[in-house]
Structure 1
Amino acid sequence: MTIVINIVVSVVVIFLLQYLGMVIFSWMTPYRDMEELRKGNMAAALALGGKFLGTAIILGVAAYTNDSIWFMMLWFAVGYACLIAAYWLFELVTPKLKVSEHLQQGNVAVGALLCFVFLGIGFAVSSLII
């Protein structure tokens, strides 16, 4: 019975962390992610999907490599901070490219590139989790 409770608690915590991560990312964008998705904005969808997958990669590795929920949450926080830093660094190193404006305008190339930045950071940071 204890193992079932541990699994249920872990799954609930994972869902909550993933949701919280997406909410924080949506606060960072000057446009409304869900509104852009309803419009069919593929660029915004790619960027949001990259955020989701990057977050999920870090969260999955943190859950797999830690026996403690607290350590899993700690490593997730570290990895998530790296994803946020990657977003701001991407903005910084592309000064002539206002990323959020291009995403809102539906620039799929920018959305795809940002998606892969998030995936790459997710994989790279997850390799640090021990």
Structure 2
Amino acid sequence: MPTQIQSPEIQAFAQGFPITLLHAGVTILILFVAATLYVLLTPHREITLIREGNTAAAVSMGGVLVGLAIPLAVSLNASTNLIEIGLWGVATVVLQLLVFRLVDLVLRGLPRRIQEGEMSAAAMLVGAKLASAIIIGAAVSG
């Protein structure tokens, strides 16, 4: 009779968990790099505004992180190995950053209003960025 350690479930977990950690780690790294690029591309310095207590900037940045994470999560789910995770992850991030920039241009004036702490502007920007993230995520999933 097999012991608990030799059970197929434990063996599958022991083999699969390190791969799960690796895949999640690569995706989180892509998210971190993407968020850093976003911060560098924005007309205002959200991190500085957040440190100064600007709630609108914090809400906006939170929306950016979720907006980047949605297509990354879908691409992670659709990928079978590190190369696919990297390719799809980078592709979705580049597309999402371009869409974010387009949203900033179309809804011009909102970044300035966020800088001034206006929550309605932050809510609108977050909604637009999350909407684009959901569409890009759906496009990746086929």
TM-score range, shorter chain: 0.7 to 0.9
TM-score under structure 1 normalisation?
Answer: 0.87
Q: Is the aligned partner of 1:80 residue 2:93?
A: yes
- For residue 13 of structure 1, what is the amino acid of its counterpart? V
Q: Which residue matches 1:9?
A: 22
Identity %: 22
Q: Is the aligned partner of 1:43 residue 2:56?
A: yes
CA RMSD between the two structures: 1.7
TM-score under structure 2 normalisation?
Answer: 0.80
- May I ask how many residue pairs the two structures share in their alignment? 128
Structure 1: segments with no counterpart, 5+ residues:
none
**More displaced stretch, 80-89 vs 39-48:** 80-89
TM superposition shift of 1:33: 1.9
Q: Which residue matches 1:122?
A: 133
Higher RCO (CA-CA < 8 Å; seq separation 6+): 1
CA contact (8 A) 1:66 1:72 kept: yes
- For residue 45 of structure 1, what is the amino acid of its counterpart? A
In the alignment, the residues of structure 2 paired with residue 65 and residue 85 of structure 1 have an alpha-carbon distance, to the nearest angstrom, of 22
- For residue 16 of structure 2, what is the amino acid of its counterpart? I
Structure 2: segments with no counterpart, 5+ residues:
1-13
CA contact (8 A) 2:70 2:133 kept: yes
In the alignment, the residues of structure 1 paired with residue 30 and residue 105 of structure 2 have an alpha-carbon distance, to the nearest angstrom, of 27
In the alignment, the residues of structure 2 paired with residue 30 and residue 4 of structure 1 have an alpha-carbon distance, to the nearest angstrom, of 41
Q: Deviations over 1:89-121 (max 9, x none)?
A: 223324xx3232211111211111111111111
- For residue 12 of structure 1, what is the amino acid of its counterpart? G
